[in-house]
Amino acid sequence: MCRCYADRRALKKSDFHYDLPVELIAQEPLPERSASRLLVLDAPHQALADRAFTDLPTLLRAGDLLVFNDTRVLPARLFGRKPSGGAVEIMLERITGSHTAVAMLGVSKKPREGGLIELDDGTPVRVLGREGQFFELKFESTEPLEKLLLRVGHMPLPPYIARPDDPRDSERYQTVYARQPGAVAAPTAGLHFDAALLDALRARGIDFDYITLHVGAGTFQPVRAEKIEDHEMHREWLNVGAELVERIQRTRARGGRVIAVGTTVVRALEAARGERGAVEPFAGETRIFIFPGYRIMSVDGLITNFHLPESTLLMLVSAFAGREFVLSAYQHAVEQRYRFYSYGDAMLVWPRERGAESATRDSGPQ
């Protein structure tokens, strides 16, 4: 499913730039998951508030519905060598079969179709083909690929974390409610939740439910087109179940709010909206690209981390709360020394008034 949207004016990727001191990029998780700070963005009132993530139960209401992404991150980074001896880093984008996957390759000279890579444990990997920056690979082993990854794979820490993965990342670069294996990047907004905080939210009368969206490595790919509407979004697999759809309807009917835990939840629910605008059950791939000009209608609030400059995720948040306001919030976060990106702090975003911008579909579902 692919939907693209036109804004009233052509937006450029430079419209989403901000300056970030490198020392604010979190390299390590905090000792406790819920110990992060929380910046609250109140778009209707153009107001900011500095809070703690443990304040979240007091910022929500009984009857609200938190929607989480229950995808589980695979140890999707592998290392090997070409027959010439050249080192190869394999970063899986998505698994396509019991022994096949699409991946990005870190190597000095890209292998040709039919080329062979030998993993560090001796497993041969055949290059079946190439599409753009991605390679189709076949793992020539009797062992299923997911089992192979659990045995020799490394946690796929983002490129801005400038250290090798270590044993603690196997737990901390994973949400406590992860249960559906398939992601190669974490839905990082969920990393702030621990058992105690989830219990506090339940005690306040806040409901939970889940979508599954297997985050691909393409989430870290930069926007290369200067006009953002020319950017080609990567594909990701998702599932929005019928029970969740019914719970969303019941929540809204009784006056509760639907709050997405992460941009992946927003993408999944928006991809599942039918022609009449309501969320419907859906399982399949999406290439939905959300940027200012698009009206996000499936959720009433968003919990998210801070995102890279000029990234599609920052563009999504800007569609929800307004580009200028979001960038001013980022500047505030820099000045207040918030921690950024996957292991960093979080935001709770309340959107501007519905209808502040219009969206025009120029490409329907695919």
304-351 pLDDT, tens per residue? Answer: 999 999 999 999 999 999 999 999 999 999 999 999 999 999 999 999
- Helix 312-321 vs helix 323-335: angle between axes, to the nearest 10 degrees? 110
- Which two tokens mark 214? 């297997």
Q: What's residue 323's pLDDT?
A: 97
Task: Using a cut of 0.85, tell me whether the model's pTM lies above it.
Answer: yes
Give which of 289, 288, 366, 285 is closest to 96, Cα–Cα.
Answer: 285
Residue ranges, the chain, pLDDT below 70: 1-9, 354-366
Nearest one of 341, 336, 332 to 41, comparing CA atoms: 332
Characterize 245-284 residue by residue with b for buried, 16 or more Cβ atoms within 10 angstroms of its Cβ, and e for exposed: bebbeebeeeebbbbbbbbbbbbbbbbbbeeeeebeebee
Is there a contact between 268 and 260 (Cβ–Cβ < 8 Å)? no
Q: Are strands 134-139 and 180-183 parallel, antiparallel or unpaired?
A: unpaired
pLDDT value at residue 220: 75
State how far the Cα of 242 lies from the Cα of 245, in Å rounded to an integer: 5
- Say how many C-beta atoms besides its own lie within 10 A of residue 337's C-beta: 11
Domain-wise residue ranges, the chain? 4-73+170-363, 77-152
Q: Which of 100, 159, 97, 105 is nearest to 132 (CA)?
A: 105
CATH class, 77-152 region: mainly beta
Q: Spell out a b/e string for 61-95, using b for 16 or more CB atoms within 10 Å of the CB, else e.
A: eeebbbbbbbbbbbbbbbbbebeeeeebebbbbbb
Q: What is the pLDDT of residue 360?
A: 30
What local confidence, expressed as pLDDT, does residue 9 receive?
A: 61
* Rg of the chain on CA atoms, in Å: 20
Question: For the domain with range 4-73+170-363, which CATH number is right: 3.40.640.10, 3.90.700.10, 3.40.1780.10, 3.40.30.10?
Answer: 3.40.1780.10
What is the DSSP track for 256-324? --EEEESHHHHHHHHHTB-TTSSB--EEEEE-----TT----S-SEEEEE---TT-HHHHHHHHHH-HH
Q: Residue 28 — φ and ψ, nearest 5°?
A: -135, 150
In angstroms, the CA 264 to CA 211 distance is 9
Encoded tokens for 27 = 């390299």
Contact 247, 294 (CB under 8 A): no
What would the pLDDT profile of 23-70 be if each residue is shown by its tens digit? 999 999 999 999 999 999 999 999 999 999 999 999 999 999 999 999
Could you say which DSSP state residue 60 is in?
A: S
Distance, CA of 346 to CA of 38 (rounded, Å):
5
